[in-house]
Chain A
Amino acid sequence: MKLTVWTYEGPPHVGAMRVATGMKGLHYVLHAPQGDTYADLLFTMIERRDHRPPVTYTTFQARDLGSDTAGLFKRACQDAYDRFQPEAIIVGASCTAELIQDDPAGLAETMGLPIPVIPLELPSYQRKENFGADETFLQIVRHLAKPMPKTERMSCNIIGPTALGFRHRDDVQEITNLLYELGIEVNVTAPMGSTPADIAKMGQAHFNVLLYPETGEQAARHCEKTFGQPYTKVVPIGAGATHDFIAEVRTLSGAAAPIDTDRLRQSWWSRSVDSTYLTGKRVFIFGDGTHVLTAARVARDEMGFEVAGLGCYNREQARPVRALAKEYGLEALITDDYLEVERTIEALQPEMILGTQMERHIGKRLGIPCAVISAPVHVQDFPARYSPQMGFEGANVIFDTWIHPLVMGLEEHLLHMFREDFEFNDAAGPSHHGGHAPSPSAHREPAFADEGLAPQTPQNISGQKENEVSGEVIWLDTAERELKKIPFFVRGKARRNTESYAVEKGLHEISIDTLYEAKAHYAR
């Protein structure tokens, strides 16, 4: 048993829904109790879909448990076939149905439906949403895709995009255009946008472009083995990665067509003098493995940030994320415990968070700016405008998105110069955000005093101790006032550094001198 307050990933059958909902002509019959239909709103509300997900829930109730839940499943399956006339059906169980062991796969098989019926085994008590999507797509490909002669023209499949994916809609468009420029046709994009008939043709492609390892890697491996299709390993997020991706695609395809890079503005925007203020900003990066790996490279090499910490919530990606962290001289945080992420951020006091919607809320609480780089998604992550993360336009979008939460360059200087200006002060927040920026001092303390559920790891306890230690050092009034003159986006770090410095020196009081000695001590 594990106490959870907020979760980064849903259960595996939600992953299966993401695949089914992305596709057309496929129906998912899910053995599930009343209430599991909540998952529909993820798609209709968060993603604003104008159709119900193609899912039939058997909706068993307590009174059915003693009698015939298997019959209920078969009826639901037959009704779904009759009503929706899908090209193929996937069948599976949600967490509760897994316990009653009705074997949806076996039941569906005995029904003799005239279409492919693909059984899913998604262990709800062990695995999560991304696994569910990855495994579901693998099973669909295994059942439907057949070896075929390759297309005459050079072609590839795009693998991995699903419904409810973070910017999948626009990434696919961007990469499709990029491949077109290279003279490569996209044979099938799947799961999102494909039909079972399309899946059957996947074997025609010469190679695969794997955009999202979280949801497509098993299928890409299967295709490599079965159809001899190599797949791309570079995820084209960021300018550097996009160039690497193009090189990789050229190697796989022999394509030699030139690529017009004029539209990549990010490189110049980042080199232009206005961006000097970004130099060495300490960022903490958290999200799914793929987005974290790529964001770390963009942050360090393309924005000039300092990566102060990174990690991911999906254990499937722990290995590459740990390896990358090591390369950056860091230790990766691999956890799906939201409170542990919050404690880590609090301890690190980064100047910016690149995270998920969950970290955005942590940032709000701590008064740290945050840009969202990864799922779990929120209605805000489905903008009306074209807004990819991948390719050259994606790099431009990332530049804009990441600097938006920050106080801009000159503004930052003015805040330093006129710290007590009654109109233009840090509590007013960045000028481009209107009047509702957080006033960090007001947000912090109460939120923390209240927060704090079960610590589950030794690290938590040490985190707790640090707070206590800081409580023992007294800030003299003058020093406290001086601290308040430091702009909010660095104040947390200054406070923490000064307190550590005082503890290190065995001081019990912090004066203005201590503050500035600490500043000199930690000066980079």
Chain B
Amino acid sequence: MTEQFTPPPSLGCRTSPVLKQRGQREVFCGLTGIIWLHRKIQDAFFLVVGSRTCAHLLQSAAGVMIFAEPRFGTAILEESDLAGLNDAHTELDREVATLLARRPDIRQLFLVGSCPSEVIKLDLSRAAERLTQQFAPKVRVLEYSGSGIETTFTQGEDACLAAMVPVLPASDARELLVVGALPDVVEDQMLSLLDGLGVGPVRVLPARSIDAEMGIGENTVFALTQPFLADTHAALERRGARHLAAPFPFGDEGTTAWLTAIATEFGVSDETFKAVTDAPRRRARAAIAQASAPLQDKSVFFFPDSQLEVPLARFLTRECGMSAIEIGMPYIHDGIHGPDMDLIAEGPQISEGQDVDLQLDRCREARPDLTVCGLGLANPLEAEGLSTKWAIELVFTPVHFYEQAGDLAALFARPLRRKGILNHAGTTAPAGNGIAAE
């Protein structure tokens, strides 16, 4: 089914040497995932047990303050909580009781650990057990860590989903489980594709509510839609479920390869596969061709951020005509990222972890046409004349599967198009505004 694609490279970059440097990391911590998870799981409340910094991060991380009805909050540790841990547990119980009394719609409560709660060894698993007993069966209380000392950015979602896996009921049914939080519209598209292929029943983790949760067991096979779910992957395997390894469903090639892995597993015929995918594939190819015009023959440099870097590099190099200079990832997981890395021709520098100053030196030296980086770096690099794409937008925007393939290419093309449109005679950043450093 993949005969129309560029043939895979004879040597992919799975075995390329990996540059590992240790220094300042310019990444969010795992708490950030709460921003999308609390919208996705509609009967859940996320209670961070942390500091004022955690609360401030949550409100700043999206780049703006989001004032929709929040189903997350921070129990801010105070001086007195640090002195006696038993008191901290009593305080936590009190805050949770108040919260649940005020929010009868909440069916799942996640206690989310943070750097300070980890460092003082506040045992949230004990708290979750205790609170589950107290509030069962109405409310299930789980805990995970979104702390920066253990997780980066999208790993928070991984930790959250991994925490849910052990409490899912057992089941012998042969079912497909699709794992990863997707925007509702994308999730629906995916379900309709799988339905067309005759694959089912299909379950989704995270489910939109606790009532929609699924059983799991040795006959479960699962596919990941996000490349940052390593712990969830491990937790599912511990329950006996089997992973269908595949490239991630970005663009025409990624989506087709992802669906092929499932189709093969479920014995879907070639005719059915073609019948279901031909039309959306044609649309995706046309949309990519149009949107990716400004990207052809341009170079891209990835700072480690969302963990989406490898599949996106696969998409940009193989479907949009770009070349990758460096692909930085917070961490690399061979079982998850391998299939995409096989498809990326060797050449780009693969890096894991970060020393941001050294990486900035490499980036400035290489002067890529497009740099994918976090919000803290984007404007400073733009001011140096480099075009950037903020990585966080890739997490918040519907970009998976066929119908979004053109949008995904357009997200990368927009900064370049914009640069082409603007014509301020020879300026980068304004001088003398009190903002520009010398």
Contact = CB atoms under 8 A, between A and B. Distances in A.
Interface of A: 1-7, 9-11, 13-14, 24, 33-42, 44-45, 47-52, 56-62, 64-65, 76, 79, 83, 94-96, 99-100, 123-126, 128, 169, 172, 192-193, 357-358, 361, 364, 378-379, 447, 450-455
A1 B59 contact: no
A147 to B, nearest CB: 29
Given A40-B377, A41-B61, 20 more contacts: A3-B47, A3-B74, A5-B72, A7-B59, A10-B53, A11-B53, A24-B437, A33-B149, A35-B30, A35-B147, A36-B29, A37-B25, A37-B376, A38-B28, A38-B29, A61-B149, A65-B119, A76-B23, A96-B51, A454-B99
Contacts of A6: 55, 59, 65, 67, 70
Contact of B119 (A40, A96, A123): A96
Contacts of B98: 3, 454-455
A378 B65 CA distance: 8
20 contacts: A1-B77, A1-B91, A4-B52, A7-B56, A9-B52, A11-B56, A36-B148, A37-B25, A37-B27, A38-B61, A41-B374, A44-B376, A52-B376, A52-B377, A59-B25, A96-B119, A125-B77, A169-B434, A454-B95, A454-B102
A476 to B, nearest CB: 32
Contacts of B94: 1
Which of B115, B150, B436, B438 gathers most chain A CB within 10 Å?
A: B115
A58 to B, nearest CB: 8
A61 B31 CA distance: 15
Nearest to B376: A40
Contacts of B53: 10-11, 13-14, 36, 94-96, 124
Contacts of A172: 434
B436 A44 contact: no
B23 A51 contact: no
B334 interface: no
A1 B434 contact: no
Contacts of B73: 3-5, 453
Contact of A357 (B65, B115, B436): B65
B335 interface: no
A59 B24 contact: yes
B78 A1 contact: yes
Contacts of B55: 4, 6-7
Contacts of B82: 99, 125
B51 A95 contact: yes
Interface string B372-395: 001111111011000000000000
Contacts of B47: 3
A95 B119 CA distance: 11
Nearest to B67: A361
Which of B25, B49, B79, B383 is the most central at the interface, judged by chain A CB atoms within 10 Å of its CB? B25
B382 A50 contact: yes
A193 B81 CA distance: 39
A11 B51 contact: yes
Contacts of B421: none
A317 to B, nearest CB: 18
B118 interface: yes
Contacts of B150: 61-62
A9 B116 CA distance: 19
B75 interface: yes
A451 to B, nearest CB: 6
Given A2-B75, A447-B69, A44 B380 contact: yes
B245 interface: no
Given A3-B99, A11-B52, A44-B380, A125 B152 contact: no
A2 B60 CA distance: 19
Interface in B43-71: 47, 49, 51-53, 55-57, 59-61, 63-65, 67, 69-70
Contact of A34 (B75, B149, B383): B149
Contacts of A38: 28-29, 32, 57, 60-61, 376
Q: How large is the interface on B (under 10, 10 to 19, 20 to 34, 35 or more residues)?
A: 35 or more
Contacts of B282: none
A384 to B, nearest CB: 9
B429 interface: yes
B433 interface: yes
Contacts of A94: 53
| Chain B interface main SS type | mixed
Contacts of A49: 379-380, 435-437
A165 to B, nearest CB: 10
Nearest to B431: A50
B76 interface: yes
A33 B147 contact: yes
Given A52-B380, A125-B82, A454-B99, A35 B436 contact: no
B357 interface: yes
Contacts of B383: 50-51
B157 to A, nearest CB: 15
A367 to B, nearest CB: 15
Contacts of B438: 24
A44 B435 contact: no
B26 interface: yes
Contacts of B191: none
B336 interface: no
Contacts of B366: none
A35 B95 contact: no
Contacts of A361: 65, 67
A379 B375 CA distance: 14
B247 to A, nearest CB: 28
Contact of A453 (B79, B103, B376): B103
Given A37-B25, A41-B375, A50 B429 contact: yes
Contacts of B76: 1-4
Contacts of B148: 33-36, 96
Given A1-B95, A3-B98, A100 B119 contact: yes
Given A96-B149, A453-B99, A45 B75 contact: no
B29 A34 contact: yes
B104 to A, nearest CB: 11
A379 B64 contact: yes
A13 B115 CA distance: 16
B120 interface: yes
Top 9 A-B residue pairs of the complex, sorted by shortest distance between their CB atoms: A35-B29, A35-B148, A40-B376, A50-B383, A96-B115, A50-B429, A1-B91, A41-B375, A95-B51
A59 B28 CA distance: 11
A164 B219 CA distance: 55
B115 A95 contact: yes
A36 B115 CA distance: 10
A34 B27 contact: yes
A33 B54 CA distance: 12
Residue of A6, A64, A65 most packed against chain B (CB within 10 A): A6
A94 B357 CA distance: 21
A7 B70 CA distance: 13
Interface in B70-114: 70, 72-79, 81-82, 88, 91-92, 94-95, 98-99, 102-103
Contacts of B52: 4, 7, 9-11, 95, 124, 128
A455 B409 CA distance: 47
Given A1-B75, A49-B435, A60 B379 contact: no
Given A48-B435, A52-B377, A65-B149, A35 B75 contact: no
Contacts of A125: 51, 77-79, 81-82
Contact of B60 (A4, A42, A124): A42
Contacts of B378: 44-45
Contacts of A79: 23, 357
A100 to B, nearest CB: 6
A363 to B, nearest CB: 11
Contacts of A62: 118, 147, 149-150
B116 A378 contact: no
B70 A5 contact: yes
Nearest to B384: A50
A7 B98 CA distance: 19
A4 B23 contact: no
